[in-house]
């Protein structure tokens, strides 16, 4: 099913992005408004709104997202750790309703702030 959400449009190439990694199941790209020196998102290609909507049918793709995070972080120069965040719903301050894992890092350990944190 074709979705008009902004991340589905990025997956389809209708909106440009700075790609980090892509395969049949997931896409990783740099956040347009980075909160830290390195800030990219890893998303499933299938449209899932958030962790509320995810179920065991998404186990493989969610596992892949976590399983790739370390390798992609290293490729982006994060060799001293990084922070991962998944925002869900209003209380989670989710802005884009297509599930995504934030990978945040950079050389300045004090600059790992998140919105409102
Ligand atoms: P959320 O608050 O939903 O967890 O985070 C959504 C993230 O998507 C934000 O960090 C925001 O900067 C990023 N974002 C929103 N629109 C775009 C876009 O068109 N391109 C890219 N690369 N990132 C986006
Ligand atoms: Zn979507």
Q: Convert the pLDDT of each residue in 10-29 to its tens digit.
A: 999 999 999 999 999 999 99
Whether residue 93 has its Cβ less than 6 Å from ligand 1: yes
Q: How many CB atoms lie within 10 A of CB 80?
A: 9
Under 8 Å CB-to-CB from 73, ≥6 apart: which residues? Answer: 38, 82, 103, 105
Q: Convert the pLDDT of each residue in 27-68 to its tens digit.
A: 999 999 999 999 999 999 999 999 999 999 999 999 999 999
Ligand nearest to the CA of 45: 2
Which stretches of 1-117 are DSSP H helices?
6-11, 59-75
Token pair recorded at residue 83: 């922070």
| DSSP line for 62-90 | HHHHHHHHHHHHHHTT--S--EEE---TT
Whether residue 60 has its Cβ less than 6 Å from ligand 1: no
- Rounded distance from Cα 94 to ligand 1 centre (Å): 9
What pTM was estimated for this model as a whole? 0.94
Residue nearest to atom 5 of ligand 1 (CA): 95
């Amino acid at each position: 099913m074709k979705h008009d959400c902004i991340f589905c449009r990025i997956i389809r190439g209708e909106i440009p992005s700075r790609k980090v990694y892509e395969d049949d199941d997931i896409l990783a790209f740099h956040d347009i408004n980075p909160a830290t020196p390195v800030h990219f998102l890893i998303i499933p290609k299938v449209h899932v709104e958030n962790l509320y909507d995810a179920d065991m049918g998404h186990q493989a793709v969610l596992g892949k997202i976590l399983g790739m995070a370390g390798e992609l972080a290293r490729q982006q120069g994060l060799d001293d750790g990084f922070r991962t965040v998944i925002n869900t719903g209003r209380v989670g301050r989710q802005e884009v309703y297509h599930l995504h894992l934030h990978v945040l890092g950079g050389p300045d350990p004090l600059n790992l702030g998140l919105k409102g944190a």
